[in-house]
Every structure is written in structure tokens, then in C-alpha cells.
Amino acid sequence: MLPLSTHDYQQLSPTELLQALAAGNVGFDHAFLDSFLRDPEAAAQALEVFVDEDHEDDRVDVEDQVFDLFRHLRTPRALAFYTLQLRAQMDGAREELIEAFAELGEPAVQPLLDLYHELDEEESGEVAFLLAAMQLRDPRITELLLSRLEYDAQDAAICLGIHGDPAARPALEKLLAEVQGQAEAELLKTDVEEALARISEAAEPVERLPYNIYEQYDAFQPPYFEVMDPQESLAWLASPDPRVRVAVAESLDHSEISESLAKELVGYAQREEDLSVRCALWKSLLPAEPGKELVASLHARFEDAGVSSAEKATIAIVLSKMEFSPALKSRILDFYGDDATRALALEAMWYSDEPDFLPLIHAHLDDDDIAIRRAAILGVGFYVDKSAAPRLIPAMEHEELRSDAIYSYALAHPGEVSRLTAQKVLRHVEEVAGGLDPEESMMVMSAIDLRLGIQGIRPFFAPAE
């Protein structure tokens, strides 16, 4: 099954596609969706069987993708899976799960009622809320919510207001009359009044646009190379799709590149016909040790008159890290003088630790060219240039530059960075960034730990090796 191409997807059954996804051998993209969804009933059956199987040995957790596939298919076959998800979210069901149940409508009611009656009253509140949020005019739901008035009048009143069934009006009016004048019941009185107001409003049909999974995922995603060892990933360099081959090279960024693997990568780069793939393969050598043979191979390609300036500028990045010299400095400045290779030249500057380059990096922190500006922003981090760190804050508002600006700002943070101040630095980055999502928080913690390592201090957020 290695390597698969998008053409191969069409030859696989939905079950085989799911197995390939869980093994990391296909990307979850539009080509996958086109093949998997071509027979909706077969796709739904495959999902139903898949979720009942043991996935302990799967290399990729595809639970979220399974959920989204079920939701796109809008099939009652999803109910057992949705219910299992709900059982794990009794402290607060995700909005996406509530919407998924609501999109199924009437077929979802009985399974939810069964689950509700299986639980005790304290646990069942989330199910009651979900049933109310579906906003179906089903007397079974109204009866259930009315029965909760005796257990938790305030929560039940809120749910009845959301549910919106006029049949609940008498019970709510009776409750309101009972709590009138009770000072300790002021909050309950307010919630009952709001529920009655919602019921009195002219009910408009709830319009739910069909969930479109294609809008949630990229047109292209490579296989999950991050779960493979480098040798396994290299098999995909035989893929006819250059995007896949680029992804293979980029997946090696943090791998341990042995001498033998470096030799293989040089060979692949020399044979590769696509420029973008060649450049990605050369950059994959950045983590490698600068052995004599490897450096000689890089120099030979760098000096080849038939090699394009873009490829040479990319090789300069690797050479700058492995063997920076005055001659290479001059060549990097030549690349910097060409608009087409300026971003690559700035990247080569990162690894040189050459102070003369720093003013050039500063000069492009507001550049109109996104690639050049990104290279300058990351340069501030590489140089741990504390003086320029505040200039990165405006880029945090730019969708394409935000993550790079946040990372570089954390790495070059202008304040004291120590184990004692690490949490304070994290909070400060969060403040200047206007908040951080979980992924951004992890990125900032990684940058702070890297800064500590540069200073010879053990990491704070990650365990020391």
C-alpha cells in the first residue's frame, strides 16, 4: 500500500480508506473525501463498523475525522457514535455535537431519551439541555423537561425557554406565581420570566444549513509523515505528486539525520526534477552533522553553473549553518540583492550568527512581501534580538504572520527569561498577542524553553532530557 497516490484512492473501499487513514498512509483532504463519499451508504456502513473496532494500535487518532464524516453524511447510523461522544462530555457537550444531534432531528430523540432515563437526575442535565437545544416540537421532550422542574427548577426553566414549546406555559406560569415575592428566588424568577418571554415570541423555523465537510478541511493534506520514521517516509519520494514529495522533505525537519540518511537525501535531491522538491530536500539536511562528504556535496551543487539561483540560495541556508565563511557571506548578500531570492537570503542569515546581517533583517520587518517579512520576523527570534522584539507585535494581527510573530517574540522576549519568570513571560506574550489558543500556548512554551536552553538553563515547561 506504499506509497498511495490520489488515483489509488478510487480503487479502495471506504473501509480500506479508513484503515489507510488510521495508519497514516493517506491525508484527510478533498481527494480522500471524494473517494470516501462517492457512495454515501457504503461510507456510513464503513464508519459504523470502524467505530466498533479496536483502534489501540492505530498510528493516527481519527476520531475527529470520523465525527465530521458522520456529520457530513447526516445519517442515523451515527447515533451510537454520537451517544458515545456525549457520554464523554457530560460536563458540557461541545457545540458541534449538539448541532450534529440536531441535524439528525427526530431519529435522534429516542436514543437521547433512552440515555436520559439511564442516568440519574444529577448526571442527566446535559442530555436534557441537548434535547431542548434541538428545538423539536416533540411532546416527549416537553414532558421530560417539565418533569425536571421538581429536581432543578432553574435549569429546567432555562431549558424550557430554549425548547420553546407553548405547552410548557401553564407550568412555568404556576412556578412564577409560587416564587413571586420570595427574595431568595429572584434569580429563578428572572429565568422563568425569560423562558415565558421566549415561548411568547413568534417561533421561527430553525434553519440549519447542511454541514459541508469540504469547507472544514484543506484541498490537500499529505500522509501523516510525523508518525513514520524517516526511512519509511522516504518511500513517498516515489509519489508522482510533488506536493507529497515536498511534505516528505519537510517532515524531516526535526529528525535525526544520520550520515547514511544524509547521503540518501543528497542523492534524491540531485535526481529530483521539481525545483520546489529539490529545495525542500536540501533544507531537510539542516539537522544533519556537517560531515566532510556532505559539505563537499553541498559545495559542488552550490558551485554548479547549471543550478538555478533559487536552489543555490536554498543550499546557502544549509551551508550557513554548517560552514559559514566570508565567501559565503558575500554570496548571501548577492542573493539578498535579488528580489527573487531575498527571502531565502534572509533565512540563510539566521544561521550565520553574523551581526552585520541584523540591520538587513530589521529593514524588512514591515515589508509588503509576505515571504520576506516572515523571514525577517523569524530572524529576530533566531538572533534572540530583544531590542527588535516589540516591533513584532503588529504582525500578530496579521493572519498569515501571527504564529511566526508570536513565536519569535517569545524567543526574543525583551524581558528577563529565567525559570523563575517563565510563567510571567508566557502571560505577557498572551497579553500582547490578544490571547492564545492552545496550540499557540504550546508554541510559546516551546520558544521559552528554547530561550532557556540558549542561555544554558534547563527547560521549564518541558521535562529536561
Mean pLDDT of the chain: 93
Q: Residue 459: its pLDDT value, please? A: 94
Q: Are the CB atoms for 86 and 127 separated by under 8 Å?
A: yes
Q: Residue 185: its pLDDT value, please? A: 74
Nearest to 23 by CA among 228, 240, 242, 234: 228
Q: Residue 463: its pLDDT value, please? A: 74
Angle at 307 between CA 306 and CA 313, to 5 degrees: 150
* Alpha carbon distance 352, 337 (integer Å): 18
Q: Residue 360: its pLDDT value, please? A: 97
Q: Residue 353: its pLDDT value, please? A: 87
Torsion over CA: 12, 16, 20, 22 (sign): positive
Work out the number of other CB atoms within 10 angstroms of the CB of residue 293.
11
CA distances from 174 to 177, 185, 191, 345 (A): 5, 14, 14, 76
Positions in the chain whose pLDDT score sits under 70: 1-2, 183-184, 202-206, 464-465
Q: Residue 183: its pLDDT value, please? A: 65
Q: Are the CB atoms for 43 and 14 separated by under 8 Å?
A: yes
Q: Residue 121: its pLDDT value, please? A: 80
Q: Residue 202: its pLDDT value, please? A: 56
The grid coordinates listed for 254 are 526535526
* Alpha carbon distance 211, 99 (integer Å): 9
* Alpha carbon distance 260, 276 (integer Å): 23
* Alpha carbon distance 137, 206 (integer Å): 11
Domains belonging to the chain, first-starting first, are: 6-200 (1.25.10.20), 234-353 (no CATH), 354-465 (no CATH)
Q: Residue 254: its pLDDT value, please? A: 77
- Report which residue type is found at 243: R
